[in-house]
Structures are given as C-alpha cells and as structure tokens.
Amino acid sequence: MLHLERPRRSVLFMPASNGRAIARAPSLNCDSVILDLEDSVASEAKLAARGAALAVLATGELNVFERVVRVNSADTAWGADDLAALRGAPLDAVLLPKVDGPDTLRAARDVLGEGPALWAMIETCAGVAALRSIAAAARETGLAALVLGPNDLARELRCTSGEDRAPLWPILTEVVLSARLAGIVALDGVTNVIDDAAAIERACAQGARWGFDGKTLIHPAQIEAANGAFAPSAEAVARAERIVAAFALPEHEARGAIRVEGEMVERLHLAEAERLIALDRAVQSRQ
C-alpha cells in the first residue's frame, strides 16, 4: 500500500524563493520537502522562485527526500506556467493548492503527462464539500495524498481554530476518512508556532491521534516532533511483534480471535500489527 512505501512523518515546506532555506535542506532530517511557489512567495519573486525550484531539483541535492513542488493555482497569473514548467522535471509529486473538485486534478494531469504523483490541498469550503469525489478520482488522476490547509480553511470558515483546533475536528476526520477510502496518504496541515516546542509536540500528537500519516511543517524546529509522533513507538512495535508471533503459533492457525496478554486480539489487529511493523522498518531504513 502506498503509505507503507516510504515514511512521510515530516513534510517540510520551504519557499522556493529562499535560497538559504533550500541550501540548508540536505542537512535536515525530514522525510519530504515541498518547494513552495504559492503563498510563501511574493508576486514579484514568483518567476525567480520557479527557476530556483527547477534548478535545485536538477542538481539532485534533494534526492534523499521525497521531492514535491507546490504550484500556484490555475486561476492565478502563474499557475498554468508553473505546471507546464514541471512537466518532465525530476520530482516525485506536484502539490495543487485549493483543490475544489476532481476536474482540477484532471486538468493538472493533462498538463503534466505521466510522471509525478498529484497531492491535493484541502483548504477551501468547496474542497471540503467535494472531498469524496476528489478522493474517488485518485486512481484515474494519480492523486496520492490529501493535505490539510488549516490557514486558508480557517479564513474561509471565519473560525478561530485555537490550539485544540476544535472547529476543524469534523474536517480533520473527513480528510483522513476520504484518504482511507481511496487508499491514499493523509497529511496534517501546518502549525504556525515555531518557538514553543511543547505546543509543536501537542500539535503533532493530535494529528497522529486523528490518523494522519504525517504532518506538513514550516520550520526545521518542527521536524523531530513530527518524526517522533508519526512513527510507531518501540513499545507499539514490540506489542505488534508479539501479536504476529501469537497468530503464527500452530494452535492459532484456524483461530479468528485469540488471547494475547489478557486481551482479545482478532485478525484485524494482526493486519494492523503487520502495518506498524512495516512502517517501523521503513522508518528505520530511512534513518
């Protein structure tokens, strides 16, 4: 399954216009990088940022990461040219902002041709309303991930998200649910806090609890918290291994439910245990 192929615990945005941030990237311990051409880049820097993104991709310096570029949306002056410039570029995925429906994915696929996966930002009211149809177009369009955009969403909803993000809870669930239905990845949105390590840890833990596969980040100071929260703990892996071992016993071969350490465990728990072990192996090999 796609989310087992590689960990996406920490997915770091960097403005493609920020040469110092990009130069720092190879020393960072995140799983994926997103070179941003959209909201973190001022209008007058858009063309230079596009050129800088293509140039650093061509060097191969970012090949240790999953490489993603976030383009401007199709209704801006830059969106169409961003996509055209990325056709054939050495990258893993193109992140489309403000996806409102599956037609946005189809149009991007037409321009990009075969090649990079598509990732879709869910950050508009229309996008939330169309989530199921966006996810349902995953196979047809090569959509591989849904990415929450909490800043744009809060603005459109006119809600005050707050640290617990209570107004967004139904949407967090809906994003994860839609991703699971389509068998694709769900990435939590950014947390804007940079200097409060405890708050960053709480935000990462909340995203992991909600079922997201990883989190998008805006600063290197957020990477370790995300790597910790979205990887299975040593304790969870050890228990998963005990569940696998218990089901492997000859006397349990024909059993659907068994007792492990005083609890009922069914084959659905075995499947989850195997997923955790595979994710742990992927994380270990990444490290």
- The site for ligand LIB3CWND (CB under 6 A) is made up of 12-15, 18, 20-21, 24-25, 36, 39-40, 123, 149-152, 189-190, 218-220
The binding site for Mg ion (CB under 5 A) comprises: 123, 149, 152
Between residues 108 and 276, which has the closer beta carbon with respect to Mg ion?
Answer: 108
Cβ contacts of 83 within 8 Å, gap of 6 or more: 71, 74, 94, 108, 111, 112
Residue 220 binds: one of Mg ion, ligand LIB3CWND, none (C-beta under 5 to 8 A by kind)? ligand LIB3CWND
Residue 232 binds: one of Mg ion, ligand LIB3CWND, none (C-beta under 5 to 8 A by kind)? none
- Minimum gap (Å) between residue 191 Cβ and ligand LIB3CWND: 10
Residue 21 binds: one of Mg ion, ligand LIB3CWND, none (C-beta under 5 to 8 A by kind)? ligand LIB3CWND
Between residues 76 and 151, which has the closer beta carbon with respect to ligand LIB3CWND?
Answer: 151
- Minimum gap (Å) between residue 280 Cβ and ligand LIB3CWND: 27
- Minimum gap (Å) between residue 34 Cβ and ligand LIB3CWND: 7
Residue 150 binds: one of Mg ion, ligand LIB3CWND, none (C-beta under 5 to 8 A by kind)? ligand LIB3CWND
Between residues 116 and 149, which has the closer beta carbon with respect to Mg ion?
Answer: 149
SS (H, E, C) the chain: CHHHHCCCCEEEEEECCCHHHHHHHHHCCCCEEEEECCCCCCHHHHHHHHHHHHHHHHHCCCCCCEEEEECCCCCCCCHHHHHHHHCCCCCCEEEECCCCCHHHHHHHHHHHCCCCEEEEEECCHHHHHCHHHHHHCHHHHCEEEEEECHHHHHHHHCCCCCCCCHHHHHHHHHHHHHHHHHCCEEEECCCCCCCCHHHHHHHHHHHHHHCCCEEEECCHHHHHHHHHHCCCCHHHHHHHHHHHHHHHCHHHCCCCEEEECCEEEEHHHHHHHHHHHHHHHHHHHHC
- Minimum gap (Å) between residue 151 Cβ and Mg ion: 5
- Minimum gap (Å) between residue 210 Cβ and Mg ion: 19
Residue 218 binds: one of ligand LIB3CWND, Mg ion, none (C-beta under 5 to 8 A by kind)? ligand LIB3CWND
- Minimum gap (Å) between residue 124 Cβ and Mg ion: 9
Between residues 32 and 141, which has the closer beta carbon with respect to ligand LIB3CWND?
Answer: 32
Residue 280 binds: one of Mg ion, ligand LIB3CWND, none (C-beta under 5 to 8 A by kind)? none
**Total Cβ atoms within 10 A of residue 215:** 30
68 token code pair: 């993603």
Q: Which amino acid is at 169?
A: W
